[in-house]
Chain A
Amino acid sequence: MGTNKSQISLYKKIDNDLLEKIGVQIETYLRYTDDSEDKIIDVEERSIAINEVDEGWSPNDHELSLNMSLKILEPMRLFGRNSITSAENTLGIGCHIYSKESHFQRTVPVGRFKSSNREVNINFDYTFPPSSLKGQVYIDFFVYLAEIKERFNYQADKAGMILTEENFLELELIVDGDGSVFPITEFNDKEGPLWKLEKHWVDASDAIFNSSNVSLSLNASHPLFDQIQKGKTRVSRAMMGDIMIQAMSQIIQQVLIIENNNINDDNLYPNSILAAVKYWVESFEIEDTSSLFSISNSMRAHWDRRLMRGENEND
């Protein structure tokens, strides 16, 4: 993913074992004010579609505050010649906030701590102003070297260096919708076909998977439109399924075969078209992505198994 900072490292980093040993406890919640009344949104999962939990919050009208309280029970384990950094140095907690759809990223310092026998308590509050967020927003927390006075071998040697192998907390806020929509639009053309697929992206690894960059359009003037839209019968559902399969196959073929993108790229942007392609290749179990036939056959086979066979005869 975009902020995966796990490159081959020449200095010691905090791995999951060490994270467990130092005893990290985290509590987070979201907050906003509506008509001078404080509203709290609990963060129970790493990914939270805000409007599914609280319909009252509007990305346009309300600010959104993230509160995180962090406790580290045994911080001294991070310090010393055999650990992450010298006891003379200061560590910090950093927070990387990024959103391709909101067009921004920034890193903010959360708090600092030194070697101590006592537990560390840090409280962090960050407010996004009204109408600053769009789409999906990612928030990653990590440990970094805040101040360096002494350096031992194999330890980080510059202030700012990231010391956690993986972020110790990653949150995803879904600000618009539920984050899993295939972009479908409608058009009107009495003479036209039932559907069309259009490509507007230039670079699939950079373009967001939304209707501005790729759109499956259904013709609302077509005689079959109502049937496939409502999906009341088995055949109409199968037809809609087939349209989706064809659309996805074409996108996969364009992105992987014609444009030669690589789904195993380390720095795959979340929500990009390439990320969607990767997701389809994995979930439809497409083994050979170099063949047009294999792509569409695998998808149809999977779709049929999953959606058609499992249904009851009800039409």
Chain B
Amino acid sequence: MINWDGIQYSVSDAERDFEALKVNTTSIEPVIMSDEFISLRNKLIQSRNAVFEQGEFDYVNKLDYKFDLMYGIEIYKLLESSIGFTGRTASNDDVWRFLSVQVIPDVVHSRWGMNEDHFYKTPRRTWLKTIWWYIHLSWNNNEEETFNILKNNSTDTILQLVERPGIGYNISIFRTLMLKYSDYTDRDLFRRVLKLNTARLLAVSPELMDGGVSAYVDELFRDAQGGT
């Protein structure tokens, strides 16, 4: 099994390797890896190919949210406990830098070009990390249902949800909230709900309220829409 905890890959390491990346017409070089990562890369690339085919992405000018969502679900399925990938792993920026710059730089490049922020430079914008957490925080029973509740969102939803973990994500609140938000498409509402949530969590514990997390989330949406 991959020793994820052993990955030490600083911003400087990533920068050095990123600068050595060379973009060819059909590939990006070098992709240097130890054996243990080759099979993971193969799976991640197979998924990328499948997503490209399904989403007909070969014919688009620029990849967008639809790719983020579809590929996010794929990496969420692959990067999981059977290969030793845990909450601790997903909280390790070294791991995300390593995956982005060393393992599948070609996939990151297809989405963001050579934008260093999304490869390694700005932790909260590391693309693979943001789409993994987006799916993790929104997961609803299975792949299909998760896709369905998220399909009408945008890149902005990912940023809003993932960018500010505060003192830590409350996963049950976020999953309930994302399910509820699938009934809406109002970006401003989403932003207001998240703000209200951050403010209220300082004073109340939804898990301890009457009706628990779901009553709490209902109330957030009601109040963010001006009450009644």
Contacts and interface: CB of A to CB of B under 8 A. Distances in A.
B124 A202 contact: yes
A98 interface: yes
B212 to A, nearest CB: 9
B46 interface: no
B208 A106 contact: no
B92 A104 contact: no
A5 B11 contact: no
Contacts of B168: 98-100, 102-105
Contact of B11 (A94, A103, A212): A212
B20 interface: no
Interface residues of B, number: 40
B166 A206 contact: yes
A101 B91 contact: yes
Contacts of B12: 185-187, 198, 215, 217
Nearest to A135: B91
Interface in A80-99: 92, 94, 96, 98-99
A312 interface: no
Contacts of B204: 160-162
Contact of B88 (A94, A131, A144): A131
A200 B122 contact: yes
Interface in A150-207: 158-162, 185-187, 198, 200-203, 206-207
A2 B166 contact: yes
A168 B171 CA distance: 25
Contact of B202 (A3, A146, A212): A3
B40 to A, nearest CB: 17
A307 interface: no
B169 A5 contact: no
Contacts of A135: 91
B11 A109 contact: no
A108 interface: yes
Contacts of A133: 88
A263 B204 CA distance: 24
A160 B86 contact: no
Interface string B173-209: 0000000000000000000000000000011111111
A16 interface: no
Interface in A232-289: 267, 269-270
B97 to A, nearest CB: 8
B202 A7 contact: yes
Contacts of B205: 94, 96, 107, 144, 160, 162
Interface string A93-128: 010101111111111110000000000000000000
A106 B172 CA distance: 8
Interface of B: 5, 10-12, 16, 84, 86-94, 97, 121-125, 133, 164-172, 202-210
Interface of A: 2-5, 7, 59-60, 92, 94, 96, 98-109, 130-135, 138, 144, 146, 158-162, 185-187, 198, 200-203, 206-207, 210-213, 215, 217, 267, 269-270
8 nearest A-B residue pairs (beta carbon): A160-B209, A105-B168, A2-B167, A131-B86, A212-B93, A107-B205, A160-B208, A131-B88
8 contacts: A4-B202, A94-B208, A100-B165, A100-B166, A101-B91, A107-B206, A131-B87, A198-B11
